[in-house]
Copies of this chain bind each other. A is one copy, B any other.
Amino acid sequence: MEFTAAPLEKLIEQFEKMPGIGRKTAQRMAFYVLGLPQEEGLAMAQAITDACVKIKKCTLCCNLTEQTYCPICSHPKRDRSLVCVVENAEDLMAIEKTDEFKGTYHVLHGVISPLEGVGPEDLTVKELLARIEPDNVREVIMATNSDIEGEATAMYLSRLLKPMGVKVSRLAYGLPVGSDLQYADSVTLTRAIEGRKDL
């Protein structure tokens, strides 16, 4: 578009690439940035630079952190012998928000997906296996998503872990708390019946 200044157009394009951001939102965001006092705009640029440069993977659990070990792995009260395997750092944040889990995590940074050419070697499987012995891991909880890729990844990892004498568990499936039974989908309902518990 000839009538837009080149740096503005470039900024809109950059924002537009992000997930969930369409042309209109990207445009609104770009104009917001332009409307900021210059130092605030530059602070945003700096925040992106910092995030790109400073954040790396935790040596132990591969969570995103600026230190060698992430705050969870380096926390003295977290149980290192209990490991929760998640697909990405966002899933970790979701579990961490419950404030219930006192073990540590392992972030795979993806799932096995032959269709997208992602194999176990692209994930942090090696790092997971390497922690089992030194940390005396007794149980690994598979918290991958319940889609095909997530299930396959959980299955794959459990086959590697079980021979090492590790208990492998999976998050429970069932009705979401507060949901109405009549609106539950049949797969979830089937799982809820299968996984019923004694009262």
Binding site for B on A (CB under 8 A): 1-8, 10-11, 13-14, 18-21, 25, 27-34, 36, 38, 41-55, 63-66, 70-72, 88-90, 92-93, 96
Which residue in B27, B30, B50 is a CB contact (below 8 Å) of A7? B50
Find out whether the CB atom of A3 lies under 8 angstroms from the CB atom of B48: no
A-B contact pairs, 28 of them (CB 8 A): A2-B71, A3-B63, A6-B66, A7-B47, A7-B66, A8-B51, A8-B64, A11-B48, A11-B51, A13-B47, A14-B44, A18-B32, A18-B33, A19-B29, A19-B32, A21-B25, A28-B90, A30-B51, A31-B88, A31-B90, A33-B48, A33-B51, A36-B52, A38-B52, A41-B48, A42-B48, A45-B48, A45-B49
Describe A's contact surface by its main secondary structure.
helix
Determine the distance from Cα of A50 to Cα of B38 in the docked complex, in whole angstroms.
Answer: 11
Find out whether the CB atom of B21 lies under 8 angstroms from the CB atom of A29: yes
Collect the chain B residues with CB atoms within 8 Å of residue A66's CB.
5-7
Given A18-B29, A55-B34, A10:B47 Cβ within 8 A? yes
A72 to chain B, nearest CB (A): 6
